């Protein structure tokens, strides 16, 4: 289990009360992480410090910078373990692919403000391949993992401000969990950890502590994760993309069970609430 990042103590007052009482409250840390690819700046993200290499690997997998761990020649922190900069060096073949993909990525970002939802989904779909059918998973077990996610969130318990992403195998064994101030960062970190250890094929399903946005679906699709469940409802774009990619998208139901939005054929052995 990765170490819990240091929390920053902050003086706060409690209200209401007979008198305002000073208290020290732990706050979640948020710092920039600069990622450099082939010696050039690629992106800067705001995140909770920790697991910088896994975070970089997961983000670069999601963005199409790498396809397999074999694309990586070197992944290193600049200036020691407390660094906020990570450098990624690619093989010659991967570097050539990255140059083409990054040019296309830049074109998309430059015109992105003019895209409608359908155009965005169409564009993402061209870069992603649909997932195969199956396997069928125990919906009751998945709902239980969603309901007990907070047991794996020590940083949230301390700060009340962290998102979590947890990966389970098909028998609901916990493979990895990561916390971060940003839900996207938590997912990049946990996927990156399995990616670097060549364990993506063991994943049965993903559990998120947040709402499910289309970016999370995109990241999961790149990692070939077919089943995503979350605490909060998905966005309409997330459902559209998951449906196009033959993925299962479900969230916690208002009382018990799950709300299944796409790919319900992968879930069985439990009464499910469908929208």
Per-residue pLDDT band at 272 (split at 50, 70, 90):
very low
Q: Is 113 labeled as catalytic in the residue annotation?
A: yes
In the predicted model, what is the mean pLDDT of residues 155-174? 95
Instruction: Give 196's pLDDT tier (boundaries 50, 70, 90).
Output: very high
User: Does position 7 have pLDDT exceeding 50, yes or no?
Assistant: yes
Comparing CA positions, the residue from 185, 186, 126 lying closest to residue 153 is 186
Please report whether residue 11 resides in a domain.
no
Residues 263 and 147 in one domain: yes
Task: Report the pLDDT value the prediction gives residue 104, as an integer from 0 to 100.
Answer: 54
Cβ atoms of 205 and 228 closer than 8 Å: yes
Same domain, yes or no, for 174 and 116? no
Sign of the torsion angle spanned by Cα atoms 26, 28, 32, 35: positive
**Residues 147 and 100 placed together within one structural domain of the fold:** no
95 and 150, same domain (yes or no): no
Residue 37: how many other CB atoms lie within 10 Å:
23
The whole-number average pLDDT for the span 63-80 is 93
Residues in a beta bridge with 167: 176, 206
Range of the domain at 83: 31-127
Higher pLDDT among residues 102 and 195, named by residue: 195
Domain annotation covers residue 18: no
Q: Which of 104, 127, 150 is the last residue of a domain?
A: 127
Q: Which of these three, 88, 108, 127, is where a domain ends? A: 127
Task: Enter the DSSP assignment of 53.
Answer: H
Q: Are residues 266 and 145 in the same domain?
A: yes
Average pLDDT for 162-184: 96
Confidence category of residue 17, pLDDT binned at 50, 70, 90: very low
Pair 123, 222 in one domain: no
The verdict on 154 and 263 lying in the same domain is yes
Residue whose token pair is 């209200």? 15
With a CB cutoff of 8 Å and minimum separation 6, the contacts of 166 are: 145, 149, 152, 174, 176, 177, 190, 206, 207
């Amino acid at each position: 289990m990765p170490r819990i990042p240091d929390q920053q103590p902050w003086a706060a007052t409690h209200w209401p009360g007979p008198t305002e009482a000073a208290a020290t409250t732990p706050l979640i840390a948020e710092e920039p992480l600069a990622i450099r690819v082939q010696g050039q700046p690629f992106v800067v993200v705001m995140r909770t410090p920790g697991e910088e290499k896994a975070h970089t690997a997961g983000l670069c997998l999601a963005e199409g910078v790498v396809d397999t761990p074999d694309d990586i020649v070197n992944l290193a922190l600049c200036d020691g373990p407390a660094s906020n900069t990570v450098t990624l060096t690619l093989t010659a073949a991967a570097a050539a692919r990255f140059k083409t993909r990054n040019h296309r990525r830049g074109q998309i970002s430059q015109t992105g403000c003019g895209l409608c939802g359908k155009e965005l989904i169409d564009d993402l779909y061209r870069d992603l391949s649909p997932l195969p059918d199956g396997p069928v998973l125990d919906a009751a077990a998945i709902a239980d993992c969603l309901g007990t996610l907070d047991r794996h969130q020590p940083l949230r318990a301390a700060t009340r401000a962290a998102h979590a992403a947890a990966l389970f195998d098909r028998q609901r064994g916990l493979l990895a969990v990561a916390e971060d101030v940003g839900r996207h960062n938590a997912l990049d970190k946990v996927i990156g950890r399995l990616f670097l250890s060549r364990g993506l094929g063991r994943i049965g399903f993903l559990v998120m502590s947040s709402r499910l946005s289309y970016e999370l679906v995109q990241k999961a699709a790149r990692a070939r994760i077919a089943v995503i469940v979350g605490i909060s409802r998905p966005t309409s774009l997330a459902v559209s993309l998951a449906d196009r990619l033959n993925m299962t998208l479900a969230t916690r139901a208002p009382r018990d069970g799950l709300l299944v939005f796409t790919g319900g054929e992968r879930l069985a052995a439990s009464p499910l609430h469908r929208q």
